[in-house]
Amino acid sequence: MLAFLKVMNLFIQFKNLGDMLKACFKRVKEIQERFYLIFLKPLNLWPLKHALKQKKVALGTAQYPRMAPYAPNVNGPRTASDAIALAKSKGIEIPYDIYIGFMKKWIRKDADAEYFYRKDEFDPDDWIKWSDFYHDKTGKIPVRFNAKLLESDEAIIAHIAHEMHELNALRRLFEEESGKMPARKLMRHIGQGIPKNLHDQAWEVADKVVRAMREEQ
């Protein structure tokens, strides 16, 4: 019986030690985040290892987000619904027929957002209709985001602003083209490495929104 009590006492001590270590790590993280908010964020000097990695493309004036790296949220990741509400509160237009989803199992390495999941079905000379952007079952345009973006309000805003700018502009272009255009022309609008195209312009829009967020704080 005495041996059992000793074992239980050791177990309780180890558990208390574990709780203390967790509390210490949490406190260190809080201090780190406060240090960032007070000293580094105004200078945009947050270390890359603490930010979401962003791919850069050599060509174009804004082929990558200039405001990256993005600040992580002090209070942890947002929910998908919170992220969408945040984007709308910043004036980002999200049409009723667009469905935004955040994917936990993100595979792509070259981007953290995507839409028009059927693009690989088309050859460059094929004609693409605006209706091809819609999901057959939901009747909406699916726009997928890497769920890691939910860890940063700035990343959320930047990427939603980017994708919505492209899609809203494409909607108008397709209307001007009577609802269809060649795949080759579409890719000139949204492809990477093409100066001053929609993809290029969309990062400028995203940077502007993030810059405004930082100035508000």
Q: Does any domain span residue 159?
A: yes
Please give the tally of structural domains in the chain: 2
Q: What is the pLDDT of residue 172?
A: 97
Q: Give Cβ neighbours of residue 151 (< 8 Å, ≥ 6 apart).
A: 52, 72, 73, 76, 77
Run of H or E including 151? none
> What tokens does 65 get?
């987000």
Residues 22 and 119 in one domain: no
Compute how many other C-beta atoms are within 10 angstroms of the C-beta atom of residue 122.
Answer: 17
Residues 33 and 68 in one domain: no
Q: Does any domain span residue 49?
A: no
Q: What is the pLDDT of residue 41?
A: 41
d(CA 108, CA 90): 27
Q: Does any domain span residue 96?
A: yes
Question: Measuring CA to CA, which residue among 95, 82, 93 is closest to residue 149?
Answer: 82
Residues 63 and 119 in one domain: yes
Residues 92 and 183 in one domain: yes
Q: Does any domain span residue 186?
A: yes
Residues 195 and 107 in one domain: yes
Q: Does any domain span residue 168?
A: yes
Run of H or E including 181? strand 180-182
Residues 150 and 208 in one domain: yes
Residues 120 and 62 in one domain: yes
Q: What is the pLDDT of residue 53?
A: 34
* DSSP letter (8 states) at residue 131: G
> What tokens does 69 get?
């790296």
Residues 58 and 24 in one domain: no
Residues 120 and 30 in one domain: no
Q: Does any domain span residue 157?
A: yes
Q: Give Cβ neighbours of residue 30 (< 8 Å, ≥ 6 apart).
A: 74
Cite the DSSP H helix spans in the chain. 2-35, 80-89, 153-176, 183-190, 198-216
Q: What is the pLDDT of residue 138?
A: 93
Residues 32 and 117 in one domain: no
Residues 99 and 183 in one domain: yes
> What tokens does 161 get?
């602003």
Q: Does any domain span residue 48?
A: no
pTM score: 0.71
Q: Does any domain span residue 14?
A: yes
Residues 90 and 136 in one domain: yes
Run of H or E including 113? strand 113-115
Domain that holds residue 19: 1-43
pLDDT mean values, one per 10 residues, the chain (217 residues) = 56 57 54 48 35 31 77 95 97 97 93 82 89 94 97 97 97 96 92 90 96 91
